[in-house]
Amino acid sequence: MARNKTYFTIGNIIGETVNLYANNFLKFWLPYILVSVPISLLLEVLKTNFRDGFYSMSLFTIVTYFVSAIITLYVSIVGIQVYRNKETGFSQSFNELSKIIILYMILQVLMFLGILGGIFLLIVPGVIFSLFWAVASIVIIVEKNEVRLSMKRSRFLTKGFKGEILISYMIIALAAFTVYFLFAMIASAGLGDQVGILDRISSMTVNPLSLSNMLYTIISSILTPLYPVLAVVMYHNLIKEKEGYETEELAESFLDNSKK
C-alpha cells in the first residue's frame, strides 16, 4: 500500500524549519552567542598557550565537543517547546536540560563512535548511520527513552524517509556554505588581498581575534542553531506521518514529561 506523505516532504520540512527559526530567532540565537563566543575565545587562548601538545589538543577537542553538545541540547529543548506552543522560559528549559544531559551526552558519544566507525568503512555506512539516528537526540528529550531505545526509535521513525532527510540536511548545509562563501568574498575584497576565497574560509581560525574572524564567529552562531531546529521539525513531522498525531496532541505530553 502506497504511503501518502502528507507531512514529511522536503518543501514542508525546510519551510517549517526556516519559519520556526526566523520567527523565534532571539530564543535560539541569544543562548548560543552568549555561550559560544566566550567559550570559543577561551579555547583559542588555551590552544595558543599550549600549542602542539597532544594532551592540550585533546582537551581542546573534548571541551569543544561537549560545549557544542550542551548548546545544541538547549536549542533543541527550546525548539521543542516553541514547536508545541509551550512558552516555558529559561528556567524550565534549563531544568529540562539538567535532567536529560547525562543520557544525552552518552547518546552523542555512541552516535559519534558509530558514525565515525561507519565512515572508516568506506564512508557510506557512516552516512547511513547518521540518517538512522537523525532524530535520536530529539527522541531522548521528548520521549525520555534510554539511549539504546532512542536510537532504535529514531531508526524506526526515519525508515522510508532517508532520502528526504539527507536532501533536507544538504539544503541547509548548502545554504550555510553559501553564506560563508559570500562572507569570504566580502572579506577578501574589503582587505584588498590576493587570498583565494576558499583559502579565506579555511584560514578563518588562524587569528580568532581579528575583525573578520569575530564576524565569522557571529555568522556561524546565527547559522549553527538551524541544525537542531531542523531535527525538531523532522521529528514532529515523522511522528505525524507515521503515528497520526497532530501538533496539539503532541503538546500535551512535553511539560508533563518534564516534571518526571
The pLDDT value given to residue 56: 59
| Domain ranges within the chain, ordered by starting residue | 21-258
DSSP notation for the chain:
-----SS--HHHHHHHHHHHHHHTHHHHHHHHHHHHHHHHHHHHHHHHHTTT-HHHHHHHHHHHHHHHHHHHHHHHHHHHHHHTT---HHHHHHHHHHHHHHHHHHHHHHHHHHHHHHHHTTSHHHHHHHHHTTTHHHHHHHT---HHHHHHHHHHHHTT-HHHHHHHHHHHHHHHHHHHHHHHHHHHHHHT----HHHHHHTTTSSTTSHHHHHHHHHHHHHTTHHHHHHHHHHHHHHHHHH---HHHHHHHHHHHHT-
pLDDT by 10-residue block (mean), the chain, 260 residues: 63 92 87 70 62 60 76 89 79 83 89 81 79 92 90 92 92 85 67 48 47 66 87 92 67 47
The pLDDT value given to residue 94: 82
The pLDDT value given to residue 171: 93
| pTM for this predicted structure | 0.78
The pLDDT value given to residue 134: 92
